[in-house]
Structure 1
Amino acid sequence: MWPVILFPLLISSVVGGWEKKFINFGSFVCPREEKALGRCLKDSFNLYIPQLASGLPEYGLPACEPLVVPSLTVEQSTGAIRVSSTYSDVTVRGPSKMKVTNVDVNPRKHLVVVDMHIPELLMRGRYRLHGNVLMLPIEGEGTFSGRYSDIDAVVTIKLGRAHRENSVDALSCDSLDVHFHVAGASVQLNNLFGGDGELGRAMNKFLNENWQKLTEELQAPLEVALKDFLKPLADHSFATLNADDILYS
């Protein structure tokens, strides 16, 4: 977990074969030993993730926040909630505040598993819904806002090889999947029941008291949005390495 500024010290302190023990990873020189490599990758990701909000033009990465989810449809038919809803023009803010807490590298299985914490995700957009809640008909169309708080996410990256002309294979991010657990959530649906204030407030209160159900239905689209946020970072980060630097086979 040594920054590049310490590179000359590494050369002077490691006698012979140092290039087999360390990997250049962005602005870091990382040990190849699995646990030390995981700690070094954690520090490297935490350096780059905040910069993704405004983009990294030197690496060809555009601004990634807010995330935009053009549209999604949710069918809820569990317990007292039976609602069909669509959401459009959804923007998500907060991914660039995430912190990587642990990285496990498994060169034999070609896997990198990243644990991270996201303080909150803030969503805004438009909605349309109809259905029944506690046998009460519900309908509405308008704007909404939502907040997910204290999110613990697990990112699983499958590594592979990318052919290079006249050179050794590069490391590639063949796939990236995100799954997370949410500690709390809230939502505000405006213009429920055609703008009936009393009914709208009562329904928003009920939905927020049963936020786990809302989270279950909206989690999959948000996991896809986080995947879209993280994949360019992983693509760039691992493409700078030679496959043989990480993979055992």
Structure 2
Amino acid sequence: MWKLFLVLGSVSAAHAGLGKSFINFGGFICPREDRALGRCLRDALNTYIPKLATGLPEYGIPPSEPLVVPSLSIQQSTGPITVWSSYTDVTVRGPSTMKIKDVKVHSDEHKVVAKIYIPELRMKGNYDLSGNLMMLPIKGDGKFSAKYGDIDAVVTINLGRTPRHNGVDALSCEDLHVKFHLGYASMQLQNLFGGDDELGNTMNAFLNENWQKLAEELKTPMEEALRDFFKPLADHAFATLNADDILA
């Protein structure tokens, strides 16, 4: 997939005739120095990210939205929130609207850190939960929807090496973590309390009035979904690059 982002095969400095101080990332001629390389990666990614939603058939890249998370289970027991919940067939829309604000390459630490802004993420799926929210009992199962907006995310990628048959190690994504801060959130849970509309409407209103305290319940699934969105991209991208082009 990252053919679309960076190069479609690492064009090393030697092969591109650019000298050892530059790397060609899909037409972006990037200096290998960490700070300049980070800025170049940022610009390259922002050029191609909007095309993710519909995909690029010419490169064999299918549409990336909606992003599907088959299942997640969460047990949260902190302070006034004690909830056991599971989510299935969750779809997420909005990742392709993101903008890369900053990329920092730490070649000596074998790490890349990207700061990202996402205007809005929308989730839909099935839920099953029970527990207590701020001393109020809650129980239900059915359909749910949620919106998260003004998201500032930090994606941390740990880099490694993968041997190739030609003796030149490929760059690899050893691990990837996503953390984010929300500007706003709203959610709607159907069929709360066995379908009692009055209790269900009251609880949904309570959830949305107190979203800042309660959004942690769905923050984990969102971080998992974003990790699932980024990880395959990173895997494909780094597999095309020579490790010595990036790592100190």
- Match of residue 142 from structure 2: 142
Return closer, same or farther for 1:171/1:138 CA change in 2, 3 Å cut-off: closer
- Report if aligned partners of 1:59, 1:236 keep a CA contact under 8 Å in 2: no
Helix, strand or coil: the match of 1:206?
helix
Alignment of 1:22-61 (within 5 A): 22-57=22-57, 59-61=59-61
User: Deviations along 1:148-188, whole A, 9 cap, x unmatched?
Assistant: 11111111111122222224222222221111111211111
- Match of residue 190 from structure 1: 190
Number of matched residues? 234
Return closer, same or farther for 1:61/1:232 CA change in 2, 3 Å cut-off: farther
Return closer, same or farther for 1:35/1:87 CA change in 2, 3 Å cut-off: same
User: Deviations along 1:193-217, whole A, 9 cap, x unmatched?
Assistant: 2333222211111111221233222
Q: Mark the runs of 5 or more structure 1 residues left unpaired by the alignment.
A: 5-16
Normalization by structure 2: what TM-score?
0.84
Q: Displacement, 1:57?
A: 4.8
Return closer, same or farther for 1:134/1:117 CA change in 2, 3 Å cut-off: closer
User: Aligned partners of 2:136 and 2:169: how far apart in 1?
Assistant: 61
- Match of residue 84 from structure 2: 84
User: Aligned partners of 2:138 and 2:221: how far apart in 1?
Assistant: 23
Alignment of 1:144-159 (within 5 A): 144-159=144-159
- Report if aligned partners of 1:145, 1:187 keep a CA contact under 8 Å in 2: yes
- Report if aligned partners of 1:154, 1:179 keep a CA contact under 8 Å in 2: yes
Query: Is 1:104 equivalent to 2:104 in the alignment?
Result: yes
Q: Displacement, 1:98?
A: 0.8
Return closer, same or farther for 1:234/1:56 CA change in 2, 3 Å cut-off: farther
Q: Displacement, 1:240?
A: 2.7
Helix, strand or coil: the match of 1:186?
strand
Query: Is 1:131 equivalent to 2:135 in the alignment?
Result: no
- Report if aligned partners of 1:34, 1:105 keep a CA contact under 8 Å in 2: yes
- Match of residue 220 from structure 2: 220
User: Aligned partners of 2:167 and 2:71: how far apart in 1?
Assistant: 43
- Match of residue 115 from structure 1: 115
- Match of residue 10 from structure 1: none
Structure showing greater Rg = 1
User: Aligned partners of 2:26 and 2:19: how far apart in 1?
Assistant: 16
Range moving further from structure 2, 206-215 or 112-121: 206-215
Percentage of pairs with the same residue: 67
Range moving further from structure 2, 223-232 or 73-82: 73-82
Q: Displacement, 1:145?
A: 0.7
Helix, strand or coil: the match of 1:173?
strand
User: Aligned partners of 1:231 and 1:65: how far apart in 2?
Assistant: 15
Q: Displacement, 1:113?
A: 0.6
Helix, strand or coil: the match of 2:174?
strand
- Report if aligned partners of 1:25, 1:237 keep a CA contact under 8 Å in 2: no
The one-letter code of the counterpart of 1:87 is Y
- Match of residue 21 from structure 1: 21
User: Aligned partners of 1:202 and 1:225: how far apart in 2?
Assistant: 29
Q: Displacement, 1:118?
A: 0.8
Q: Mark the runs of 5 or more structure 2 residues left unpaired by the alignment.
A: 1-6, 8-16
Return closer, same or farther for 1:165/1:78 CA change in 2, 3 Å cut-off: closer
- Match of residue 93 from structure 2: 93
Normalization by structure 1: what TM-score?
0.84
The one-letter code of the counterpart of 1:34 is D
> Which of the pair has the greater relative contact order for Cα pairs under 8 Å at 6+ separation?
2
